[in-house]
């Protein structure tokens, strides 16, 4: 059975956003059982955990002795093992991979940049100067994404692992109306989040936090 690493506890702003959610969602979509390895700050630097995740981050997986890290790479591995999250034709899979990279490499960085400013340094002078530019960059990328999604339900002609990743990225800026103010993107996010597998994954992540708090 797959063992997935997750944090034992996180600050409230991170609950429901920690990147093990991506893996949980993919596993729920494909119907694979898993268990969690819940780690704390002290566990991140142990040799055993660094062997699983060289940067001490979550998520990482241990799949019957095969270990792997990077949330998108893990999601891709899961998608490649099933038709549930990936098209069966080679061209369709290549298009899915392009969008997976777009989610991680084109959309997530400007969103994360803005969110980091808002959450950690909102009152710093440098942050006040930098934020308008960070906001403009994030808006520019999201407007392009909205233009692509304007007449589509999903990034391609069906839900894939790329939509799963993109949705988790669009969830990040909860501190502002960056996504909520773009109706096409908000509708897309809600459409993907309406999938029963997403709800199960989110409940599982939140439930793990609650268990440890009890
Ligand atoms: N690129 C990595 C990023 C993982 C990541 O940023 N994980 C966060 C939690 S969402 C983390 O472990 N933060 C603690 C740290 O970086 O030490 C992935 O997608 O797996």
Q: How far is the CA of 21 from the centre of ligand 1 (A)?
A: 12
**Ligand 1 atom with the shortest distance to the CA of 60:** 20
The CATH T-level fold of domain 90-196 is Glutathione S-transferase Yfyf (Class Pi); Chain A, domain 2 (1.20.1050)
Non-local CB neighbours of 166 within 8 Å, separated by 6+ positions: 99, 102, 103, 107, 145, 155, 192
Pocket test for ligand 1, best of 19, 37, 38, 69 (most atoms within 8 A of CB): 19
Per-domain boundaries in the chain: 2-84, 90-196
**Ligand 1 atom with the shortest distance to the CA of 71:** 20
- From CA 137, how far away is CA 139, in angstroms rounded? 5
- Per the confidence metrics, is the pTM higher than 0.85? yes
- From CA 168, how far away is CA 63, in angstroms rounded? 23
| pLDDT tens over the chain, length 214 residues | 999 999 999 999 999 999 999 999 999 999 999 999 999 999 999 999 999 999 999 999 999 999 999 999 999 999 999 999 999 999 999 999 999 999 999 999 999 999 999 999 999 999 999 999 999 999 999 999 999 999 999 999 999 999 999 999 999 999 999 999 999 999 999 999 999 999 999 999 999 996 555 4
Q: How far is the CA of 139 from the centre of ligand 1 (A)?
A: 24
Look up the CATH number of domain 2-84: 3.40.30.10
Q: Ligand 1 pocket: which residues have CB below 6 Å?
A: 18-19, 56-59, 70-72
């Amino acid at each position: 059975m797959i063992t997935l690493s997750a944090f034992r506890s996180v600050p409230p702003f991170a609950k429901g956003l920690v990147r093990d959610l991506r893996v949980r969602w993919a596993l729920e979509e494909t119907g694979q059982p898993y268990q969690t390895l819940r780690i704390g700050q002290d566990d991140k630097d142990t040799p055993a955990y660094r062997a699983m995740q060289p940067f001490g981050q979550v998520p990482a997986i241990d799949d019957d002795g095969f270990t792997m890290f990077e949330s998108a790479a893990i999601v891709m591995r899961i998608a490649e093992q099933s038709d549930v999250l990936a098209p069966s034709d080679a061209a369709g899979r290549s298009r899915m991979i392009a969008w997976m990279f777009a989610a991680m490499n084109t959309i997530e960085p400007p969103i994360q940049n803005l969110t980091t400013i808002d959450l950690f340094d909102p009152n710093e002078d440098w942050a006040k100067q930098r934020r308008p530019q960070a906001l403009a960059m994030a808006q520019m990328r999201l407007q392009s994404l909205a233009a692509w999604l304007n007449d589509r339900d999903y990034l391609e002609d069906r839900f894939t692992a790329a939509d799963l990743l993109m949705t988790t990225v669009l969830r990040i800026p909860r501190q502002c109306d960056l996504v909520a103010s773009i109706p096409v993107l908000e509708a897309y996010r809600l459409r993907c989040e309406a999938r029963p597998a997403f709800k199960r994954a989110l409940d599982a992540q939140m439930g793990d936090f609650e268990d440890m708090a009890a």
